[in-house]
Chains A and B, each alone.
Chain A
Amino acid sequence: MAKKTAQTKQPATRNANKRSAWWQSLWLWAIVGVVVLAVLGVLLVQQTATNSAATLAGLQSFSGQQRGHTTDPVQYQQIPPVGGMHNPAWQNCGIYDAPIANENGVHTLEHGAVWITYQPELPPATVDALRALVRGRQYTLLSPFPGLPAPVVASAWGLQLKVDDVADPRLARFLATYIQGPQTPEPGASCVGGIGQPIDS
């Protein structure tokens, strides 16, 4: 009798255990699925959240710039300069109608400014357009630069973009990206209290 009980017991129990095990493995796979989807979702969100600004076409990068102070004139490797040794006084940000000294401008770059230089012989309307581009902006320098290799050159610390046309949309993007941007060696440094009196700001 005991043997027969054992035999009738087993199939029912086995089936019930199989169903139970099936449910359990279903739950397990469901949880694994939720976790995988969650991780994928988080990665997707973080990917889209990070600054997806495509690199500016024509942007030049010059790394390894020195940062020290000197009162001597400096020979810079780039025209206009994008970094290196510089004067202890920074050039006050703003719009200038006369050239400013490289050694002061470079210090302003160190403080996070974008320095836009233009060929002095550009027509007044073009100069006005450049001024309109930077007017009201923080941490920008605009000045004529004799001997500039292109009509307009935008520089930030270690970065440079040459453009032919003041209406080039890359100029506005350069400003938006690099004014107090990630390239700034000295975040928090001021753009006032230095030398120079801009004609406009």
Chain B
Amino acid sequence: MNEYIAHAGAADQLRVWHPFVSPLDPCPPIAEKTFIIPPNVTMPWQPPGLPQFSPYEALKLGTLWPAYYSPYETTPK
């Protein structure tokens, strides 16, 4: 469940944008940039009765509720 949530959440919360690229930019362009919309933005009021992680999973991930888990993995920017 843990892994599933991690991957589903990561994709759902990621937003991609493409900055303007100038031929005069000094560094090789990074064509794609991303940022995260955490679940507190899309669901700013927690509905009651949400499914819960086990206590050990909750401690490991930093929240009791899978719906509010926001994974972060280092990505080259």
Same complex for A and B? Answer no
